[in-house]
Structure 1
Amino acid sequence: MDVNPDDLPDGLVVADADGAVVCFNAAAARLTGREPGEALGSPLPAVLPLEDLDGRRWWQLTDPYGGLAISNGHPERNLLLPGGHEVLVSARYVRARARGPVRRVVVTLRGTEARRRTERSHAELIATVAHELRSPLTSVKGFTATLLAKWERFTDDQKRLMLQTVDADAGRVTRLIAELLDISRIDSGRLEVRRQRLDIARAVRRHVGAHLAAGEPDSRFAVDIAADLPDLWADPDKIDQVLGNLLENAVRHGEGTVTIEVRSASSPRDPGTPGTPGGAGEPGGPGEPGEKATTVTVSDEGPGIPEESMSRVFTRFWRGSRRGGTGLGLYIVKGIVEAHGGVITVERAPVGGARFRFTLPVGAPAFLA
């Protein structure tokens, strides 16, 4: 099968044994701003007048045709085109035999935008982690140092209060570390799902019960669970993370009644609410048509999410207009749902507020299929 160089996503420049350019694809033209017709037949240094970050001319420095006979090219590195335009460049020197003359120089070019975005994301993550760790660790250090230095001066009630604060802040640090580990696994595709038979109705009621025990009134929640739910095989701990995050967001940032609905679906493409924009009924949903699934919807009656922010809800560091938190929770929720082969969406609830819906294929083990 013939491959057209113009179909390649990266820039490709090939020079022959005399250093004349014989291939200059469309991506290379886009990155350099030079027309292919102008480049073909011209000397490689003239077509790609690259400099390193110290201002040295790259081809004079590396000398692919007259340099060391054992050199086979160079790995990807940042170089500069005229005007200071930065590109990622790698090169391969093709020889007919070991230590023989160079027959071709093959150069690939890539833009730096994707790497810059990754670097910014990593920098934001480090800054967020540093900020979130500083406050609880300062508290833990302060209270423990005070207790060690002045233990006899405090009453039992004062000691208990300080230790409770230390315990709460240590828990906050533990949760943050767990979030970071989840993000690492999600980004690398290594998030493990340990499927067990899961009673999703019981899990929902347990989370609601925890909020009631914490002081929320009964009237704050409306739970509607269908009677015909299929057996669901999922990772209980990870689905607990999903439910906990969605309910916590609805209680803390929403208003009015928080409604939790659990429904069966005839297939992941039919979540029981046909026609929902962006819902699991959209093409590209999990599983195969006809596979059973379970859909969980969590909605509130608060101000909701601005329309212009809907597309960013599940990205890292999204906090909307609210303050506090790492902004990582919904990113992790989406990663967990997708690791189960499911989908999660957000939209505006009919009575205002936000409505999150996630759909999980039943995920039955092969021996039960």
Structure 2
Amino acid sequence: MHPDDLPEGIVVADGTGRVVCFNAAASRITGLTAADALGAAFQQVLPLEDVDGRRWWQVTDPYGGLATRTGQPERNLLLPGGREVMVAARYVRAYPKGPLQRLVVTLRGTEARRRAERSHAELIATVAHELRSPLTSVKGFTATLLAKWERFTDDQKRLMLETVDADANRVTRLIAELLDISRIDSGRLEVRRQPVDMAAAVRRHVEAHIAAGRSADRFAVRVSEPLPGLWADPDKVDQVLGNLLENAVRHGEGTVTIEVAAAPLRHDEEGTAVTVSDEGPGIPEESMSRVFTRFWRGSKRGGTGLGLYIVKGIVEAHGGTIAVDRAADGGARFRFTLPVGAPAFLA
């Protein structure tokens, strides 16, 4: 492999401290050309400083320091002009405690880390905001009931306790979302496969919406039989269906149509596809690519904006796919497909 093929910056100095390798990524990060760097002293090519203004090479002293050292762990340093860069060093010796033969330095830009830090900060701010409202309500009602219990009628007490219960459920859901995000980001989202009747699951969710007071005319369920036997995590399938139907009801308009059908996948594998569509204004074309990212809320504010990110993570953890486009009647249309799968004890 050629050094220029590597995504990270690579700078190699020989036993005398002269640069003998300076790849394309290092040029991009430092702004120097290979012609300017090759043959020059490594301290001149990389005049790095720490955040306290100390010259890093004077502190680390790779050629004159302890012969037992094998390198420097990655850390954040500054190039001239204050540009941040992640730097790690490896000391190559012919034998333990021998003189330094090569100094190998890797360079990485900090943009990806900065994006991750901003994402984490936004997540913390969102969670803090979402927790503050229900917890304030819970604290206020419980404090009022404890202080003035005898002054309220039974109906008033019931109303306040029902509000406390609903807000506690809201906090519980938020915590569950955070746990799901943690597992998705770390690749530890577990899928416990069991037989799932997708058509029955869809009807159960629709019936729950109707029981909650929504009109039965608002929903249309279409099932194309026969469906293949599906092995999936029933709790997580319920989470996906619940989120997609709730979004269609809250943010869409007109009839919410849920279609369930068999779907051929690659390599002659069978699968089940579920499509949820509405007749509302739909999702703007320029927003389609951001629907499944964190904190996307569309034109209407409210909620954490984490639901569709979690839905995508759950579907992909099953080996499935999910997509969004515009429905025939102009609304949003979400379609996810799950492979038939295998029992958890065979997976």
1:118-155: CA deviation from partner (whole Å, max 9, x where unpaired)? 10010000000000001111111111111111111111
Q: Is it true that 1:305 corresponds to 2:291 in the alignment?
A: no
For 2:157, the equivalent position in structure 1 comes to: 159
For 2:247, the equivalent position in structure 1 comes to: 249
2:267 aligned counterpart, secondary structure:
coil
For 2:181, the equivalent position in structure 1 comes to: 183
1:246-279: CA deviation from partner (whole Å, max 9, x where unpaired)? 00000011000000000112x22xxxxxxxxxxx
Q: Where do 5+ consecutive residues of structure 1 fail to align?
A: 269-287
Q: Offset at 1:316?
A: 0.2
User: Equivalent of 1:125, from 123, 140, 143?
Assistant: 123
Q: Is it true that 1:362 corresponds to 2:340 in the alignment?
A: yes
For 1:29, the equivalent position in structure 2 comes to: 27
**What is the distance in 2 between the residues matched to 1:345 and 1:73?**
46
Q: Offset at 1:289?
A: 2.1
User: Equivalent of 1:351, from 329, 339, 344?
Assistant: 329
1:181 aligned counterpart, secondary structure:
helix
2:85 aligned counterpart, secondary structure:
strand
Q: Offset at 1:82?
A: 1.1
Q: Is it true that 1:71 corresponds to 2:69 in the alignment?
A: yes
For 2:148, the equivalent position in structure 1 comes to: 150
2:182 aligned counterpart, secondary structure:
helix
1:182-207: CA deviation from partner (whole Å, max 9, x where unpaired)? 00000011000001110001000000
1:329-344 maps to which residues of 2 (within 5 A)?
A: 329-344=307-322
For 1:80, the equivalent position in structure 2 comes to: 78
Aligned amino acid, residue 232 of structure 1: L
Aligned amino acid, residue 55 of structure 2: R
**What is the distance in 1 between the residues matched to 2:214 and 2:279?**
16
Structure 1 window deviating more from structure 2 (226-235 vs 66-75): it is 66-75
**What is the distance in 1 between the residues matched to 2:134 and 2:73?**
43
Structure 1 window deviating more from structure 2 (41-50 vs 90-99): it is 90-99
Contact 2:252 2:279 survives alignment (8 Å): yes
For 1:6, the equivalent position in structure 2 comes to: 4
For 2:200, the equivalent position in structure 1 comes to: 202
- Output the TM-score relative to the length of structure 2: 0.98
**What is the distance in 2 between the residues matched to 1:367 and 1:192?**
13
User: Equivalent of 2:216, from 212, 215, 218?
Assistant: 218
1:19 aligned counterpart, secondary structure:
coil
Q: Offset at 1:365?
A: 3.7
Aligned amino acid, residue 203 of structure 2: R
Q: Offset at 1:68?
A: 2.2
Contact 2:194 2:344 survives alignment (8 Å): no
**What is the distance in 2 between the residues matched to 1:262 and 1:163?**
39
Q: Offset at 1:366?
A: 9.2
- Output the TM-score relative to the length of structure 1: 0.92
**What is the distance in 2 between the residues matched to 1:70 and 1:154?**
76
Q: Is it true that 1:318 corresponds to 2:296 in the alignment?
A: yes
1:71-110 maps to which residues of 2 (within 5 A)?
A: 71-110=69-108
Contact 2:74 2:88 survives alignment (8 Å): yes
User: Residues 252, 366 of structure 1: CA spacing in aligned structure 2 closer, same or farther, 3 A cutoff?
Assistant: closer
Aligned amino acid, residue 43 of structure 1: A
For 1:282, the equivalent position in structure 2 comes to: none
1:304 aligned counterpart, secondary structure:
coil
Aligned amino acid, residue 155 of structure 1: T
1:32-83: CA deviation from partner (whole Å, max 9, x where unpaired)? 1111122111100011111111111111121111122222221111111111
Aligned amino acid, residue 274 of structure 2: V
**What is the distance in 1 between the residues matched to 2:106 and 2:124?**
32
Q: Offset at 1:367?
A: 9.1
1:289 aligned counterpart, secondary structure:
helix
For 2:48, the equivalent position in structure 1 comes to: 50
Q: Where do 5+ consecutive residues of structure 2 fail to align?
A: none
Aligned amino acid, residue 32 of structure 2: R
Give the percent of matched residue pairs that are identical in Structure 1 and Structure 2.
80
Count of residues paired in the alignment: 347
Aligned amino acid, residue 207 of structure 1: H
Q: Is it true that 1:238 corresponds to 2:216 in the alignment?
A: no
**What is the distance in 2 between the residues matched to 1:308 and 1:119?**
25
